[in-house]
Structure 1
Amino acid sequence: MLTEEPHPGVPAGHTGATGQPQAGTLQRGWRWRILWRTAGLLTVLVILNSLARLLFPSQIDLTQRRSYTLAPQTGNVLEALKEPVDVIILAPKSPRTAGEQSFRNAAVMLREFLDICQKQQPLLHVQELDPVDSPAGRSWQERFPDVLAPCVVIARAVAGEHEVLTTRDLVEFRATEKNGAPDIDFLGEQAFTAALTRLNSGRKPAVIYVTTGHGELSIADQAPDSPLGLGLFAEMLTQFDCRVESLDLRGAQRVPHDASLVIVAGGEVPWESAEADLLDTYLRQGGRVLFLADYHFDSRQKRPVPTGLESLCERHGVRLGDERVYSQNFAGQVEAVAAALPATVDHPLVRSLNTAPVYIAGCRCLRLSAMPGQRPVRMTPVLVSQAAPRAWAEGDPVGTASPTPGGARDLDGPVAMAAAIERPDERDPSPLMVVIGSPQVVSNRTLTGATGRIHASLGLSCVNWLRGRRELMGDIPPRRRAAYHLSGTPEDHRGLVWKTTILLCAVIGTSGFTVWTMRRIG
């Protein structure tokens, strides 16, 4: 005889009017189990989310170009903020001119960048104002006469100091093809960091003197293709709280007392001993020098023309070699432009350099000095050439023989092409000099070339290391936005749009009909 077993969880004999277990009791138990399981799942998710927030307080940037990661210099400058800073994007809502449209395109990328900055530094207050319709926008223009829309105003809320950035400071448009959309290099991070640096300094700009009178590169020369101009590099220095002045030591009594740094950018005429003594005295009294040594060959003497600063360099630990660095490409062709790579040493200046090679033309090699009576300093190679036979320092006089590696007077690579000299200190050595074997590393022609950004980063890092502004050292690469090009005719593009629309409507209709049919059958 068959008997019906009671339902699990229901007491035996507990039946309803029809003799079956009560359905309401079963449904209530099932619902409670669902609620408890859902609550447990939500609790676990909340705990995991809280742990992730504690362990990973910042966003994880998985983009190949690190598009959502700030440069170390930008992070350092943001952390140094002690008071609120207002960032005002002043532009009309509806652009009427090509200039306003270009600024609007730049502002889109700027807003993304500022969102990242605000997450790291809440003291940044960002606003977008119309210069005509907004009373606040008009007040900013009345407050600062140099504010002309469209632009970005960066102002300290307490001190009232401000900086203005324009479209030229934020982006650079690069043509790709005829009638094609241009690629865009976003330079806003460099400009924004430099502006904050000037606002945060709270002191007079550092005065950097560039020597003249010996055929050095000129800060007055700003021609983009000039190999004798230093004007573009001087302009970069002014963006980082510096004032650049010329200095002629002929007949002078001393290096000016307000000099934060002296730059010797090459030269064809040797220094007089009296001038070199003034520079030596400046170094002994705590001064700092960036020396870009030049290489000019004297065909009569069969040796490089003396700079007049050889003894000064040797007293401070570095010897200017008479050899010139050459390189050899994969085809065996000899080139006077050699690739300089960061040295494998632990040094703050080396750590700040870009890992890409710096191509230096006409560079002379540097050696460690062993001069008697040398001052207690420490010399560290910063840039070195590639290993032999790819690179070497040619010891044979220029013009006497074709440069080839392995000569009796040659120095096999790697050889030093740039060096940093410090005053020894157990805790923190003090910067003294940076010597680079060629002034062309920061000439106008080099900075406007294909690798100009890498050379500019090297020059700025050397200056900031000598100034003691390590938070500004390093490279801030541009955020590159490449345009997407659709091939085909306008008719093809229109066909792509309506065909895609029809396909989506068909998918939605088919899905709806399928669901309706299943519910009808069920």
Structure 2
Amino acid sequence: MKPLRSYLKLKHLIWPGLFLILMGLTAGLVAGTWGPIPAGLLSAGIGLLVVWLGSQASGFQGLWGKRSTQAGTNAVLATLAVLAIFLLTNFLATRYNTRLDLTENRLFTLAPQSQEVVKSLEDPVKVWIFDLAPNPADRDLLENYRRQNPDGFAYEYVDPQVQPGLAERFGVQNFGEVYVEKGDSRSDSSGNRRQLVQTISPSQRLSERRLTTALVKITSDRQTKVYFLQGHGERELNPGQGGLAQALTSLTDETFQAEPLNLANTAEIPADAAVIVVAGPQRPLLAEEITRLKDFQTRKGGLLLLVDPQANPELDDLLEGWGVAFSDRILVDPVAGRDGAVTIITEYGPHPITDGLNNGITFFPLARPLELGEVEGVEMTPLLFTNARTQAQQIGEDGQLQLDPEAPEGNLVLGAAFSRRLSNAPTPSPSPDAEEPPVQDEARMVAIGNSTFATNGLIDQQLNRDLFLNAIGWLSQEADPTFSVRAAEPTNRRVLFSPSQQIALILASLVFLPLAGLALAVGVWWRRR
């Protein structure tokens, strides 16, 4: 019988010994405690090393002078170096957690608005998810919020079947309902303590846009009124092509309250009007209506004018005091698609409305430029600049575009913001303890030579929604407005094939490609035959 030592091959025990030690150290560092498992692994590894050393004791004499010993020593040192690097890397990764989001729309990174909202939480806010089992994607999103404000934001998953009393107090009707609750109280007496965010399902996961909106709603007591002027062919406030239903929904999500306004049937503009929107008027306003809008501009408030080409609402008397006029020309980009009628904007002026847009895209089908002038007491800021090749062409009486090589060309202004301090408002005295000087009430106005960008189906494209909402927010003069890009939504990348394309794809993949491969193989065989 061969000696037991030859079967065990004790000289190879060094490798499992080192491996067990490595496993024990890794388990202890990751777990943060040196429990039975890490200690057992370390003990087993050290034991194997001791046995290995005992098996090699007789051969240690003259061992260090051998080339094999030197090579083995180098291998051990290299192994220990790799082990040290591995442990150090794991320690640093655990101690300094860093996330890198490489998705197109940065889907796994909170939008600037969401970050600002959650960081500014003064009272504790908790999100309750009434579902059977947590979803990893939803949990990652909630963790992103919690990391921004660990003391002010928390979340908890609740199984309605295990805690029916809690589900009943929230009024849960279906699995997947998500609520956000402000403070520690669970009372609904204030009407603003609890907010339903959405109902999640396997096909509809938790939305950052909706969660951020719910946080804004539950932490804000404001009800800002935005009125949309009607009666002159303006954009209708209903679903369908050319309507503003989606714009109204976005305003509601941002805690604004939108209502129609017909000045022909109203003696005066409502006192609670913070912003008035005139979107796409096709017929002239009455003189009395112009007078009421001018009176509105003598108090704290904002006016948003969205005027399309080939429309003359006769606003000159209203705009004269602001140093702006809507040109009767139309913007044309000679190298753009659709005959250059779509104006794409990537250059923005410095202003709170455009601060979060950076070099993003907003686009305006059929737009007209502005003509700007200086007026004493009015602060004017161009917001939207066309590219250098854009031209301002005339439209003939027959409605056809008249291309003029001498037409104005260059970085034309499509939109601008205006503000004027109110002469009847007292100048506030700065507080010595205030970090920033108090802001005096202003009359504000934003003029854009297009209203189509805010209509159904287009407001969701690129940054059109952000431009519209930021303009409303600035005009409303809220005490603490948040101007930044809203939460990104996944881009629909589905590829839809027509029936004929589906048949062609099937034939190409199942018939033509195999036949081509077979013909190539036959050709190679024939040449080598």
Structure 1 residues 141 and 437: CA distance shift in structure 2, 3 A: same
Deviations 1:369-404 (A, max 9, x none): 35xxx451122121122222xx21113435376432
Structure 1 residues 168 and 61: CA distance shift in structure 2, 3 A: closer
Instruction: Return the offset for 1:90.
Output: 1.0
Q: Partner letter of residue 395 of structure 1?
A: Q
1:199 paired with 2:215, answer no
Structure 1 residues 230 and 39: CA distance shift in structure 2, 3 A: same
Q: Partner letter of residue 393 of structure 1?
A: A
Counterpart in the other structure of 1:150: 176
Structure 1 residues 169 and 274: CA distance shift in structure 2, 3 A: farther
Cα distance in 2, alignment partners of residues 394 and 237 from structure 1: 34
Return the match for 2:451 from 436, 439, 451. 439
Q: Partner letter of residue 414 of structure 1?
A: N
Deviations 1:104-158 (A, max 9, x none): 8xx4422111111111111222111122x222xx234322336533211111133
Instruction: Return the offset for 1:483.
Output: 9.1
Counterpart in the other structure of 2:208: 189
Cα distance in 1, alignment partners of residues 149 and 409 from structure 2: 50
Instruction: Return the offset for 1:193.
Output: 0.7
CA contact (8 A) 1:405 1:412 kept: no
In structure 2, stretches of 5+ residues that fail to align are 1-59, 64-78, 187-192, 422-426, 428-435, 496-504, 507-529
Q: Residue 466 of structure 1 aligns to a residue in which SS?
A: helix
1:358 paired with 2:398, answer no
Cα distance in 2, alignment partners of residues 404 and 45 from structure 1: 68
Counterpart in the other structure of 1:349: 353
Instruction: Return the offset for 1:479.
Output: 4.1
CA contact (8 A) 1:238 1:244 kept: yes
Return the match for 2:413 from 400, 413, 416. 416
Instruction: Return the offset for 1:418.
Output: 1.2
Counterpart in the other structure of 2:197: 165
Cα distance in 2, alignment partners of residues 63 and 358 from structure 1: 21
Q: Partner letter of residue 441 of structure 1?
A: F
Instruction: Return the offset for 1:294.
Output: 2.8
Q: Partner letter of residue 208 of structure 1?
A: V
CA contact (8 A) 1:343 1:381 kept: no
Return the match for 1:241 from 255, 258, 262. 255
In structure 1, stretches of 5+ residues that fail to align are 1-19, 24-37, 94-103, 173-185, 298-304, 489-522
1:128 paired with 2:146, answer no
Q: Residue 474 of structure 1 aligns to a residue in which SS?
A: coil
Matches within 5 A, 1:178-327: 188-201=207-220, 203-219=221-237, 221=238, 223-225=239-241, 227=242, 229-296=243-310, 305=312, 307-327=313-333
Cα distance in 2, alignment partners of residues 76 and 296 from structure 1: 41
Counterpart in the other structure of 2:377: 376
Residue correspondences, number? 415
Structure 1 residues 473 and 154: CA distance shift in structure 2, 3 A: same
TM-score (norm 2): 0.66
Cα distance in 1, alignment partners of residues 411 and 215 from structure 2: 40
Q: Partner letter of residue 365 of structure 1?
A: P
Q: What's the % identity of the aligned pairs? A: 24
Q: Partner letter of residue 327 of structure 1?
A: D
Structure 1 residues 315 and 166: CA distance shift in structure 2, 3 A: same
Instruction: Return the offset for 1:354.
Output: 5.8
Deviations 1:213-239 (A, max 9, x none): 1121122x1x243x1x11111011111
Cα distance in 1, alignment partners of residues 454 and 492 from structure 2: 27
Cα distance in 2, alignment partners of residues 421 and 60 from structure 1: 40
CA contact (8 A) 1:353 1:475 kept: no
Instruction: Return the offset for 1:51.
Output: 9.8
CA contact (8 A) 2:348 2:384 kept: no
Matches within 5 A, 1:382-401: 382-388=383-389, 391-399=390-398
Q: Partner letter of residue 128 of structure 1?
A: Y
Q: Residue 460 of structure 1 aligns to a residue in which SS?
A: helix
CA contact (8 A) 2:332 2:343 kept: no
CA contact (8 A) 1:313 1:320 kept: no
Counterpart in the other structure of 1:10: none
Cα distance in 2, alignment partners of residues 245 and 63 from structure 1: 38
Q: Residue 459 of structure 1 aligns to a residue in which SS?
A: helix
Cα distance in 1, alignment partners of residues 101 and 158 from structure 2: 30
CA contact (8 A) 1:233 1:443 kept: yes
Return the match for 1:456 from 462, 465, 473. 465
Instruction: Return the offset for 1:196.
Output: 0.3
Q: Which runs of 4+ in 1 moved over 6 A?
A: 38-54, 168-172, 424-429, 481-484
1:70 paired with 2:110, answer yes
Structure 1 residues 51 and 384: CA distance shift in structure 2, 3 A: same
Cα distance in 2, alignment partners of residues 356 and 200 from structure 1: 30
Instruction: Return the offset for 1:244.
Output: 0.9
Cα distance in 1, alignment partners of residues 89 and 137 from structure 2: 33
**More displaced 10-residue stretch of structure 1: 346-355 or 72-81:** 346-355
Instruction: Return the offset for 1:288.
Output: 0.6
For the aligned residue pairs, the C-alpha RMSD in angstroms reads: 4.3
Q: Partner letter of residue 209 of structure 2?
A: Q
Q: Residue 444 of structure 1 aligns to a residue in which SS?
A: coil
Structure 1 residues 436 and 277: CA distance shift in structure 2, 3 A: same
Matches within 5 A, 1:489-504: none
Counterpart in the other structure of 1:85: 125
Q: Partner letter of residue 157 of structure 2?
A: E
Q: Residue 348 of structure 1 aligns to a residue in which SS?
A: coil
Q: Residue 141 of structure 2 aligns to a residue in which SS?
A: helix
CA contact (8 A) 1:288 1:466 kept: yes
Deviations 1:407-458 (A, max 9, x none): 4xx22132111111123699778571111111111111423xxx63522222
Structure 1 residues 348 and 462: CA distance shift in structure 2, 3 A: same
Counterpart in the other structure of 2:405: 406
Return the match for 2:141 from 99, 113, 118. 113
Instruction: Return the offset for 1:350.
Output: 2.0
Cα distance in 2, alignment partners of residues 211 and 479 from structure 1: 34
Counterpart in the other structure of 1:329: 335
Instruction: Return the offset for 1:52.
Output: 9.7
TM-score (norm 1): 0.67
Q: Residue 326 of structure 2 aligns to a residue in which SS?
A: strand
Deviations 1:5-63 (A, max 9, x none): xxxxxxxxxxxxxxx99x9xxxxxxxxxxxxxx99999999999999999x78645455
